[in-house]
Amino acid sequence: MRYALQVQYVGKNYAGSQIQFENGMEKALTIQGELEKALRTLICGNTADENNKRPVKTYFSGRTDKGVNAYGQVVHFDTDKQFVASKFLYSLNEILPDDISVSEMKLVDKSFHAQKSAKSRHYRYEFITRKSHNAFDGDLMRVKFDIDIERMQKSLNYLLGEHDFSSFKSSGTLNPSRVCFIETVQAEKVGDRVVINIAGNRFLYNMVRTIVGTLLEIEGHNLPPEHMKNVLEAKDRKKAGKTVSPYGLTLVKVDY
């Protein structure tokens, strides 16, 4: 049987979502590692084979980096056991660390795959627009110069549709494909925060954070919104802005 989970987490204390091994041992604390450990405890109990380090293997809709949060991460796993979802979720959330939780669990068809079946992913990036520090800012990035939200939206509009996003990828991108389709992208100002929502079929490594860095370069240097178009068409990472802090980036939803 195959089950799908909707997982939330605060990424600050983890080395990303994806489990990492070195010489056959987990080398860092990850979301996947903690989730699999909790699932192993519930499903296998004391019967887990010590020679099998991953008796329960999970598959995520996509990888998130250190510091990135998720509200709607989707994960699937296979088991030969059947569970009552409400009871299983209660027990699972009691075992998981306080900064990881599971809000939904459902039985899915064997053809479902958390990553390969996904049609689109929705990310949100938030940052503060204020010169002075506030105790409730948390880890969000603070921008001290003025932001013109209408200009910012004009810059973002150039990203809509299907493009080669090579200018916005980091060197760690393993997938050779650089083409992504951006369905929607919107910037809005909520009090002293700027919220950028972006949805697309796929995203390259650090792509959203580099897009935000380019936006801030445009605003900070009063460049025309068309600069975003020029960067996009250049297909050259050196033309884009910096890759900004992961804090403030959240995987909001995955659609199937």
Q: Is 115 a domain residue?
A: no
Q: In terms of domains, do 148 and 242 share one? A: yes
Q: In terms of domains, do 131 and 66 share one? A: no
| Confidence tier at 176 by pLDDT (50, 70, 90) | confident
Q: Which of 86, 108, 130 is the last residue of a domain?
A: 108
Q: In terms of domains, do 74 and 138 share one? A: no
Q: At residue 83, does pLDDT exceed 70?
A: yes
Q: Which of 58, 78, 108 is the last residue of a domain?
A: 108
Q: At residue 50, does pLDDT exceed 70?
A: no
Closest CA to 63 of 114, 102, 12, 6: 114
Q: Which of 52, 78, 108 is the last residue of a domain?
A: 108
Residue 175: the pLDDT is 64
| 158-173 confidence digits (pLDDT tens) | 999 999 999 999 876 5
Q: Is 114 a domain residue?
A: no
Residue 128 near residue 193, CB atoms below 8 Å: yes
Residue 38's CATH number: 3.30.70.580
Residue 48: the pLDDT is 54
φ, ψ for residue 208 (rounded to 5)? -65, -45
Report the catalytic residues: 65
Q: In terms of domains, do 129 and 100 share one? A: no
| Angle subtended at Cα 200 by Cα 184 and Cα 223, rounded to the nearest 5 degrees | 60
Q: CB-hemisphere CA count at 13 Å for 91?
A: 13
| Confidence tier at 49 by pLDDT (50, 70, 90) | low
Least confident of 7-16, 23-32, 195-204, 238-247: 23-32
Q: In terms of domains, do 141 and 234 share one? A: yes
**What's the whole-number average pLDDT of the chain?**
93
| Confidence tier at 25 by pLDDT (50, 70, 90) | confident
Residue 151 near residue 217, CB atoms below 8 Å: no
Residue 230's CATH number: 3.30.70.660
Q: What is the domain extent for residue 219?
A: 120-255
The total number of structural domains that make up the chain = 2
Residue 46: the pLDDT is 60
| Angle subtended at Cα 133 by Cα 131 and Cα 134, rounded to the nearest 5 degrees | 125
Kindly compute the dihedral angle of the four CA atoms of residues 130, 133, 138, 144, in this order, to the nearest 10 degrees. 30
